[in-house]
Amino acid sequence: MNNMKKSLLMVATMVLLNFTANRVFAQVQDTTKKTTTTTTAPAANDGASDVVGALGSNPDYSTALSAVKTAGLDASLKTGGPYTIFAPNNAAFSGLAPAKLDSLMKDPTKLATVLKGHVVTGKYAKVDIIKALNAGKGKATLTTIDGQTLTLSVTADKKLQLADAKGDTAQVILYDLVGANGVVNGLNGVLAPK
């Protein structure tokens, strides 16, 4: 009789454990499904429809986005490519003399010239920049969409610097705002064309 009670107790324990394990497993599956959905949603937003959309995805670059639209470059940058926009952030535009910024925003042709000096043909995400710097032994020369030369290099304090032909420089402070036809990297300064 004692063995029978032990056997029944063992069977009841096994049934209870099996039932509990199935409930825990079901909860883990539900949690996994929720996590997968959460993880998948941001991945779908990793790339904007184009580089102009990528530029608009970060509020610290709203002045650059406004400038691109004012200059009429948004239509051309939405097609073709790939392009890399080295976009000055809002603080960089704020660093310009107010009269100069106002003058640029009122003159779409001059503004377009300045902005074209920040756009290169080709996709230069962070990994591509590293490859280019390694191939160029610490320097990489890029050509803007209007034929100007930009040089990427690493400063003594290990920051990535972008220089134009006149020697004006800005540091790359943001990488990889991805669009379907290119990428946007952020700058802390505005480069002026020749």
| CA gap 122, 145 in Å, rounded | 10
- Residue 127 pLDDT grade (very low, low, confident, very high; cuts 50, 70, 90): very high
pLDDT one-digit tens code per residue, 28-44: 333 333 332 222 223 33
- Non-local (6+) Cβ contacts of 62 within 8 A are 56, 90
Residues present in the chain in total: 194
Which DSSP helix (H) or strand (E) runs through 91?
A: helix 90-94
Burial readout 47-65 (b: 16 or more C-beta within 10 A, e: otherwise): bbebbbbbbbbbeebebbb
Mean pLDDT for the stretch of residues 52-58: 95
- Residue 18 clears pLDDT 90, i.e. is over it: no
Tokens of 139: 């320097």
- pLDDT in the model for residue 49: 87
Using alpha carbons only, give the angle 182, 185, 187 rounded to the nearest 5 degrees. 150
Q: Tell me the two tokens of residue 39.
A: 């993880």
DSSP labels for 114-139? HHHTTEEES---HHHHHHHHHHTTTE
**pLDDT given at position 184:** 97
Tell whether the model's pLDDT for residue 51 goes beyond 90: yes
Average confidence (pLDDT) over 164-188:
95
Identify the weakest region by mean pLDDT among 36-40, 47-51, 116-120.
36-40
- Cβ neighbours around 152 below 10 Å, total: 22
Which tens digits make up the pLDDT trace of 146-163?
Answer: 999 999 999 999 999 999
Split at pLDDT 50, 70, 90, the class of 192 is confident
Residue 23: its pLDDT value, please? 41
Is 84's pLDDT higher than 90?
yes
